[in-house]
Amino acid sequence: MAGLLNWFAQIAAITRFGLMSIPQRRGAVAATVFGIAGVVAVLVGVLSIAAGFRRAMAASGAADSVIVLRSGSDSEMVSGFGREETRVIADTPGVARNAQGPLASAELFVIINLAKRSTGTDANVPLRGVEAAALPVRDNVKFTDGRMFTWGRNEVVVGAGAAHEFAGLEVGSTIKVGRESWPVVGIFSAGGGIAESEIWSDAKVLQAAYNRGDSFQSVYARLNSAGAFQEFKDALTSNPRLNVKVVRQSDYYAEQSQTITRLITTLGVLIAGLMAVGAVFGALNTMYSAVAARTREIATLRALGFGGGAVVVALMIESLVLALMGGAVGAVAAYVAFDNFRAATMNWQSFSQVTFAFAVTPQLLVQGVVWATVIGLLGGLLPAIRAARLPIAAALREL
Amino acid sequence: MSNPTNSGEPLVRVDGVEKVFHRGAEEIHILAQLHLEVPAGEFLALMGPSGSGKSTLLNLIGGLDRPTKGTVTIAGERVDQLSDRQLAAWRARHIGFVFQLYNLMPVLTAERNVELPLLLTHLSRAERKKHVETALAMVGLSHRAKHFPRTLSGGEQQRVGIARGIVTDPTLLLCDEPTGDLDRKAGDEILNLLQALNREHGKTIIMVTHDPHASARASRTVYLNKGQLSNVPVA
Ligand SMILES: Nc1ncnc2c1ncn2[C@@H]1O[C@H](COP(=O)(O)OP(=O)(O)OP(=O)(O)O)[C@@H](O)[C@H]1O
Ligand SMILES: [Mg+2]
């Protein structure tokens, strides 16, 4: 017991020398700290893109909401229904109802080109035609400006994300749809979900404008409960008049976001990984020079009876402290720079832009700190072992 | 701790010691069949030409290195047979070192430097403080306790070094050219101090020196030359 306390006292004393001598080595120390900060900032920053995207997609789908597509289609783009089919789907048992009828909205989907505010270049924006049930189906839609479009009129409402990302989407401005100009009459939020990246109009009006006849691409429906999914699905798939695929909205968006979040995560880890290799060498270098500069001090302490193990642990702690300082700086920088940073990206399933906010989540911050810790331990280990292995007599000869 | 005086056994016994260093493929033989006995209470001066192996011998006695051959017995304990870990603990308990260049920690005050070896004991903070005060008083530096090494003269730094060397009341005080970097006056003060520690406090001291003036203060002087010790200087 006394031995253990004694050992801690040794470690504490050696660690204190190391930390107290930092001001004399501030150049190398600062380089190491900022190197590690860079790794953590890049890691957390890039992964916050994936986290934000995933969050936006997850916010798009409630558990009791479903999307019905034509069997064999992976996205709305390639799906298609006639009016009659959408009626049958809406009347299927399990679909919630209100006074106006079933909570099912048959929708279609076209892509229009708009100029991005940031670059001025054109990008694809989804223009969705919806039915009256679209609002109760997606119960998180709220108008932040203007009003809902009037049914039967050539008007559109714009998701807050799209309004932020693209020029000319304020209430009162107009957008070009085909050869016509349609006024923007409202801006809506949708809990950060993917609907915020879209422009909506009356499905009937959109069908006419794009010569779609009376066809749709999907049915969005709200069920009585999340538990009603199986009943609803069975009823639809066993109906010989239909050939459909039923997915929960949450699953649908999770699947859509998978490709891109995986890509971003891989990229982020790769870049941060390369930087981390550099940071490890930076830490190695700093700690090797720390050991070299203190060879005589360490040898003296060893001569007085301080243990080799205590030297190793103390130098590892020193390296870890530097790394964690770097990690903290990097995490704070990433948080300040990236959290809630709004961006738009391509949704590869719909080939249109999704807007979302970067999310620097607590998990990402923890992950950054873990990386910093590993860098610190890797960078400190070899120098610490070298310091402990110094032949004392020989080291004392060095001036 | 075994009592070194009750058996007639000398405190330090170096027997048949050889030391070979390797420099690349080259073998450097430093000590050859060397014998040395130091009774408790002696103040021994170790002289010899540069490179003769004085520091090497002192390091073997102080458990900083192991002989290639032969035995080193201190207070009845075979030091050459201890593991690195055991040696570290043994040094902490039995040996006080005084270095030519003082080897103080620049980031610590005088009293903190003196306290260092006490961190390796079971003493409480209050007890450590008392020991430090006593040691600093013995070297006449109580008024400089809170000063950092760089603000002290060479002689004062060496006195802090001696205080650090004696603060644990070690069995043996080993000094490698303690006055080698000091002027005559400061050196004399250090020698006075070592002499007083030996005479008044019964400290056993082995001191390596080049200076006949310093060795004159010792109770005995031995000369190392060509790997062997003798009681007379070699011409
Ligand atoms: N660790 C080592 N590796 C190789 N050679 C060494 C080592 N330590 C000492 N030597 C060599 O052993 C010889 C004796 O060295 P030592 O330091 O013991 O001499 P010294 O008598 O103390 O000399 P000085 O009076 O100059 O201090 C020297 O030639 C030195 O170069
Ligand atoms: Mg020497």
Q: Which residues on chain B are in Cβ contact (under 8 Å) with A399? A: 101
Per-residue pLDDT tens for A91-125?
999 999 999 899 999 999 899 999 988 888 888 89
Interface test with B, best of A5, A295, A302, A304 (most B CBs within 10 A): A304
Give the pLDDT confidence of A306-342 residue by residue, as tens digits: 988 898 899 899 899 999 999 999 999 999 988 888 7
Average pLDDT, chain A: 88
Same domain for A118 and A190, yes or no, is yes
Tell me whether residue A247 is in a domain. Answer: no
pLDDT category of residue B4 using cuts at 50, 70 and 90: very low
Q: Is residue A337 part of a domain?
A: yes
Interchain CB distance below 8 Å, B59 and A393: yes
Query: Quick one: DSSP state of residue A34?
Result: H
Q: Which two tokens stand for residue B76?
A: 């009845």
Asked if residue A167 and residue A105 are part of one domain, the reply reads yes
Category of A329 on φ-ψ map: left (φ > 0), alpha (ψ -120 to 50) or beta: alpha
Q: Are residues A169 and A83 in the same domain?
A: yes
Q: What is the pLDDT of residues A264-282, one digit of tens each?
A: 889 888 988 898 888 888 8
Å from CA of B159 to ligand 2 middle: 20
Give the chain B residue whose CA is nearest to the CA of A302. B88
Q: In this structure, are A261 and A350 located in the same domain?
A: yes
For the ranges A48-52, A99-103, A217-221, B153-157, which has the lowest average pLDDT?
A48-52
Q: A26 with A283: CB under 8 angstroms?
A: no
Ligand nearest to the CA of B49: 1
Which A residues 289-328 touch B at CB under 8 Å?
A: 296-297, 300-308
A181 & A324 share domain: no
Model pLDDT for residues A206-255, shown as the tens digit of each residue: 999 999 899 999 999 999 988 889 999 999 988 888 899 998 888 887 77
**B72 pLDDT higher than 80:** yes
- pLDDT over 70 at B6, yes or no: no
Q: Over 70: is that where the pLDDT of A43 sits?
A: yes
User: Average of pLDDT values for B51-57?
Assistant: 95
Helix (H) or strand (E) holding B13: strand B12-23
Of the candidates A296, A297, A303, which has its C-beta nearest B91's C-beta?
Answer: A303
Strand, coil or helix: A244: strand
| CA dihedral of A58, A59, A64, A69, whole degrees rounded to 10 | -70
A183 interfaces chain B, CB cutoff of 8 Å: no
The verdict on A284 and A157 lying in the same domain is: no
Q: Measure A24 CA to nearest chain B CA, in Å.
A: 10
Q: Where are the domains of chain B?
A: 38-64+83-225
The 3-state secondary structure of A251-302 reads HHHHHHHHHHHHHHHHHHHHHHHHHHHHHHHHHHHHHHHHHHHCHHHHHHHH
End of a domain among A215, A242, A269? A242
- Once rounded to an integer, what is the mean pLDDT over residues B186-204? 95
- Give A21's contacts in chain B (Cβ within 8 Å): 107
pTM of this structure? 0.73
Report CB contact under 8 Å: B97, A303.
yes
Query: Does the beta carbon of A374 lie under 8 angstroms from any beta carbon of chain B?
Result: no
> B104 CB contacts (<8 Å, ≥6 apart)?
B110, B113, B149, B157, B160, B161, B164
Q: How many domains does chain A have?
A: 2
In a domain, A159, yes or no: yes
A225 and A272 housed in the same domain: no
Listed residue (A174, A52, A165, A175) closest to A118, CA to CA: A165
Selected residue of B59, B120, B164, B172 to mutate for chain A interface (largest A Cβ count, 10 A): B120
**A35 and A93 in a common domain:** no
CB-based contact B56 A393, cutoff 8 Å: yes
pLDDT at residue number B234: 73
Q: Is B16 left (phi over 0), alpha (psi -120 to 50) or beta?
A: left
A251 within some domain? no
Q: Of the residues A213, A242, A271, which one is the last residue of a structural domain?
A: A242
A111 plus A143 within the same structural domain? yes
Contact state of A17 with B59 under an 8 Å Cβ cutoff: no
| Same domain assignment for residues A270 and A312 | yes
pLDDT at residue number A299: 93
Tell me what percent of the residues of chain A surpass a pLDDT of 70.
Answer: 96
Nearest alpha carbon, ligand 1 atom 8: A394
Mutate to test the interface with A, among B28, B61, B64, B127 (most CBs of A within 10 A): B64
Q: Is residue A252 part of a domain?
A: no
**Residue A110 resides in a domain:** yes
**What top-level class would CATH report for the domain B38-64+83-225?**
alpha beta
> Is the CB of B91 less than 8 angstroms away from the CB of A305?
yes
Query: Which residue's CA lies nearest to atom 16 of ligand 1?
Result: B53
Whether the per-residue pLDDT at B34 is higher than 90: the answer is yes
Tell whether the model's pLDDT for residue A19 goes beyond 70: yes
Distance, in Å, from the CA atom of B79 to the CA atom of A161, rounded to the nearest integer, reads 78
The per-residue pLDDT for range A373-383, each reduced to its tens digit, is 999 999 999 99
Q: Which of A20, A305, A396 sits opposite B107 (nearest CB)?
A: A20
Are A10 and B56 an interchain contact pair (Cβ–Cβ within 8 Å)? no
Helix (H) or strand (E) holding A134, with range, is helix A134-137
Does residue A218 sit in the same domain as residue A269?
Answer: no
Measuring from atom 13 of ligand 1, which residue has the nearest CA? B51
Q: Looking at the structure, tell me whether residues A230 and A281 fall in a common domain.
A: no
Kindly give the distance from the C-alpha atom of residue B206 to the centroid of ligand 2, in angstroms, as a whole number.
13
**8 Å CB contact of A6 and B65:** no
Select the residue of A2, A9, A296 nearest B103 (Cβ to Cβ): A296
Q: Of B187, B170, B167, nearest to B178 (Cα)? A: B187
The residue segments making up the domain with residue A81 are: 72-242
Q: Is the pLDDT of residue B1 over 60?
A: no
**Ligand 1 surroundings by CB, under 6 angstroms:** A 393-394; B 21, 23, 28, 30, 48, 50-56
Q: Please, are residues A264 and A255 in contact by the beta-carbon 8 Å criterion?
A: no
Domain boundary among A242, A270, A291: A242
User: Of residues A261 and A133, which shows the higher confidence score?
Assistant: A133
